[in-house]
């Protein structure tokens, strides 16, 4: 069969249309192939990640859903934002969702760990005392250990930058010691708050009675994940020494009033509880660090009324030196012993002068009278005598109290006012009878002086009045003549035969 060739001539616009059709079919095929290649999102069930310097980590799609090469969104449910950034340690759920199909998703868990421990920034140095409120720097001595030593492990918190979190101290005692006395360590960390735990170890010297005692205070820090301890341990040394004789102050000279009811020792002399003991400064008072609000009120003194650390004291009294009745002085000699010293340095002697004195004047009061027994004081009153217009009477003693010594009284009758003329004087121990005191209001001036020269003056008011009735003398044989009108006139002078009154004319 003979071969035949056919030739077709296509219009040009038909060729363009056919080409576009072929391109469209190819593009649709590519899209279908791409969607089929991504497939279903498959997540890792459990992941682990290390947090970085800012306590964050980023969960990538490649880590969360390895093998899924299409666009997708990763969200970590850590409670801080809706993104793929992990903030803070812990185990969190994560979800991966394909961008082109929200129903194509998966989930898993990721555990964020902090592998960076806290870093020590500051460690307090060795301390052997502290600056008190009112008494300057005071060294720690022997029994101060009871106030410096923690009862057990203590703690406080710092933020990530090493700043103290107020209110985080485990006790008021710890707060006081760390903030104001011995100081505290500071740490920083990349992740959140830091808990610092503090423990004490007591180290004694070879001779526990005489050598210094040391507290080794250790500060250890753990981050907020409570996983890593800082490799940096801060150790602070607190030195508690023993006092010596140069630290002791002798008691000051003392004065007591003989009127006071003070304590006596076995020999009848004033007790040191009243006059004072040798003493020395200590860093703390007995109740100094118990969490009270008036810490600054304590005086920081330890008294040698009993053995204190390596020190003790005793005393002897010399004979009494009499000054006046009820007043005397004693020279008290104190011997202070330091049994950790050697030779002559073991004993120190000091003198204290104690005076028991009569410093107060007697207490003086007027003797009261109550003529009408109505319970109220009356003005003391004396009457003139029957033969003249003056009074004579026995002057009462004042009411006097003096607990220390004897006393004497000078009595003066002062006329008309407290600064009036003295009309009578009674010397101490003399007769108390006075006479010639005129009518009117006067004062008894009492000057009471005790055996030590203390003096008290009071004025007691009284009055002299005429309580004597006139004496009438009449003519008892009077004859009267009646005139012509039956009347007679009789005058007083006709009847008076010498009537009189002690204080003046009669009428």
Parallel, antiparallel or unpaired: strands 105-113 and 46-50: parallel
Hey, is 147 helix, strand or coil? helix
Exposure string over 336-356, b if 16+ CB within 10 A, otherwise e: bbbebbeeeeeebebebebbb
Q: What is the pLDDT of residue 328?
A: 95
Q: Is pLDDT of 154 > 60?
A: yes
Looking up tokens 């810490």 gives: 295
Q: 103-119 pLDDT, tens per residue?
A: 999 999 999 988 888 99
Q: What is the pLDDT of residue 465?
A: 92
Q: Is pLDDT of 17 > 70?
A: no
Q: Is pLDDT of 294 > 70?
A: no
pLDDT band at 30 (very low <50, low <70, confident <90, very high): very low
Asked if residue 485 is part of any domain, the answer here is no
pLDDT band at 36 (very low <50, low <70, confident <90, very high): very low
pLDDT band at 404 (very low <50, low <70, confident <90, very high): confident
Whole-structure pTM over 0.85, yes or no? no
Specify burial of residue 322 (Cβ count, 10 A radius: 0-12, 13-18, 19+): exposed
Looking up tokens 């290649």 gives: 37
Which has more pLDDT, 139 or 474? 139
Together in a domain, 220 and 301: no
For residue 144, which of 280, 314, 30, 264 has the smallest C-alpha distance?
A: 280
Q: Is pLDDT of 21 > 50?
A: no
Q: What percent of the chain has pLDDT over 90?
A: 60
Q: Is pLDDT of 28 > 50?
A: no
Q: What percent of the chain has pLDDT over 70?
A: 84
> What's the Rg (C-alpha) of the chain?
56
pLDDT band at 467 (very low <50, low <70, confident <90, very high): confident
Q: What is the pLDDT of residue 12?
A: 43
Together in a domain, 107 and 68: yes
Which has more pLDDT, 501 or 182? 182
Q: 230-287 pLDDT, tens per residue?
A: 788 999 999 999 999 999 999 999 999 988 899 999 999 999 999 999 999 888 865 5
Together in a domain, 109 and 81: yes
Q: Is pLDDT of 288 > 70?
A: no
Together in a domain, 103 and 129: no
| Residues 96, 110 contacting (CB under 8 angstroms) | no
What's the mean per-residue pLDDT of the chain?
85
Q: What is the pLDDT of residue 245?
A: 94
Together in a domain, 337 and 403: no
Single residue among 190, 213, 242 that ends a domain in this structure: 242
Which has more pLDDT, 29 or 474? 474
Q: What is the pLDDT of residue 152?
A: 93
Q: 335-350 pLDDT, tens per residue?
A: 999 999 887 779 999 9
Parallel, antiparallel or unpaired: strands 407-415 and 440-450: antiparallel
Averaged pLDDT, 400-406? 90
| Residues 73, 60 contacting (CB under 8 angstroms) | no
Together in a domain, 100 and 148: no
pLDDT band at 18 (very low <50, low <70, confident <90, very high): very low
d(Cα 360, Cα 13) in Å, to the nearest integer? 142
pLDDT band at 414 (very low <50, low <70, confident <90, very high): very high
For residue 445, which of 465, 423, 430, 464 has the smallest C-alpha distance?
A: 423
Split into its structural domains, the chain has a count of 4
Together in a domain, 262 and 352: yes
CB atoms within 10 A of CB 247: 18
Dihedral sign, CA of 237, 240, 245, 248? positive
| Residues 96, 208 contacting (CB under 8 angstroms) | no
Averaged pLDDT, 279-303? 68
Averaged pLDDT, 212-218? 96
Together in a domain, 210 and 288: no
| Residues 267, 317 contacting (CB under 8 angstroms) | yes
Together in a domain, 370 and 440: yes
CATH number at residue 445: 2.60.40
Together in a domain, 64 and 106: yes
Single residue among 190, 208, 242 that ends a domain in this structure: 242
Asked if residue 504 is part of any domain, the answer here is no
Asked if residue 418 is part of any domain, the answer here is yes
Q: Is pLDDT of 81 > 50?
A: yes
Averaged pLDDT, 387-410? 92
Q: Is pLDDT of 35 > 50?
A: no
| Residues 217, 236 contacting (CB under 8 angstroms) | yes
Single residue among 113, 142, 160 that ends a domain in this structure: 113
Asked if residue 134 is part of any domain, the answer here is yes
Q: Is pLDDT of 390 > 80?
A: yes
Q: Is pLDDT of 483 > 80?
A: no
Q: Is pLDDT of 100 > 80?
A: yes
Domain extent, residue 216, equals 119-242
């Amino acid at each position: 069969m003979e071969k035949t060739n056919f030739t077709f001539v296509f219009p040009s616009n038909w060729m363009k249309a056919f080409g576009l059709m072929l391109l469209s079919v190819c593009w649709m095929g590519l899209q279908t192939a791409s969607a089929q290649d991504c497939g279903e999102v498959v997540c890792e069930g459990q992941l682990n990640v290390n947090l970085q310097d800012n306590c964050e980590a980023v969960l990538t799609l490649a880590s969360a859903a390895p093998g899924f090469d299409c666009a997708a969104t990763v969200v970590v449910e850590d409670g801080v934002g809706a993104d793929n950034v992990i903030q803070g340690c812990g185990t969190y759920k994560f979800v991966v969702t394909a961008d082109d199909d929200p129903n194509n998703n998966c989930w898993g868990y990721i555990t964020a760990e902090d592998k960076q421990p806290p870093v020590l920034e500051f460690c307090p140095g060795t301390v052997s005392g502290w600056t008190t409120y009112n008494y300057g720097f005071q060294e720690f001595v022997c029994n101060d250990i009871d106030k410096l030593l923690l009862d057990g492990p203590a703690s406080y918190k710092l933020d990530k930058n090493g700043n103290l979190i107020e209110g985080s101290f485990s006790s008021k005692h710890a707060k006081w010691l760390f903030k104001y006395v011995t100081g505290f360590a500071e740490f920083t960390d990349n992740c959140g708050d830091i808990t610092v735990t503090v423990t004490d170890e007591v180290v004694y010297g070879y001779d526990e009675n005489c050598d210094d005692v040391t507290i080794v205070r250790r500060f250890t820090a753990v981050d907020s994940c409570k996983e890593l301890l800082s490799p940096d341990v801060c150790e602070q040394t607190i030195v508690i020494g023993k006092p010596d004789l140069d630290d002791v102050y002798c008691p000051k000279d003392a004065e007591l009033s003989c009127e006071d009811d003070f304590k006596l020792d076995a020999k009848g002399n004033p007790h040191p509880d009243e006059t004072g003991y040798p003493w020395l400064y200590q860093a703390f008072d007995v109740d100094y660090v118990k969490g009270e609000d008036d810490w600054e009120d304590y005086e920081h003194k330890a008294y040698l009324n009993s053995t204190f650390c390596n020190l003790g004291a005793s005393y002897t009294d010399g004979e009494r030196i009499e000054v006046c009745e009820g007043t005397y002085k004693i020279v008290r000699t104190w011997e202070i012993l330091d049994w950790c010293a050697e030779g002559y340095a073991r004993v120190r002697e000091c003198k204290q002068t104690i005076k028991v004195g009569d410093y107060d004047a007697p207490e003086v009061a007027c003797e009261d009278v109550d003529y009408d027994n109505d319970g109220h004081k009356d003005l003391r009153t004396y009457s003139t005598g029957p033969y003249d217009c003056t009074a004579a009477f026995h002057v009462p003693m004042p009411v006097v109290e003096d607990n220390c010594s004897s006393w004497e009284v000078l009595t003066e009758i002062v006329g008309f006012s407290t600064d009036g003329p003295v009309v009578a004087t009674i010397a101490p121990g003399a007769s108390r009878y006075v006479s010639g005191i005129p009518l009117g209001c006067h004062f008894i001036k009492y000057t009471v002086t005790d055996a030590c020269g203390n003096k008290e003056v009071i004025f007691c008011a009284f009055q002299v009045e005429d309580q004597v009735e006139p004496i009438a003398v009449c003519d008892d044989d009077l004859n009267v003549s009646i005139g012509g009108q039956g009347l007679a006139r009789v005058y007083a002078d006709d009847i008076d035969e010498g009537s009189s009154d002690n204080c003046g004319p009669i009428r």
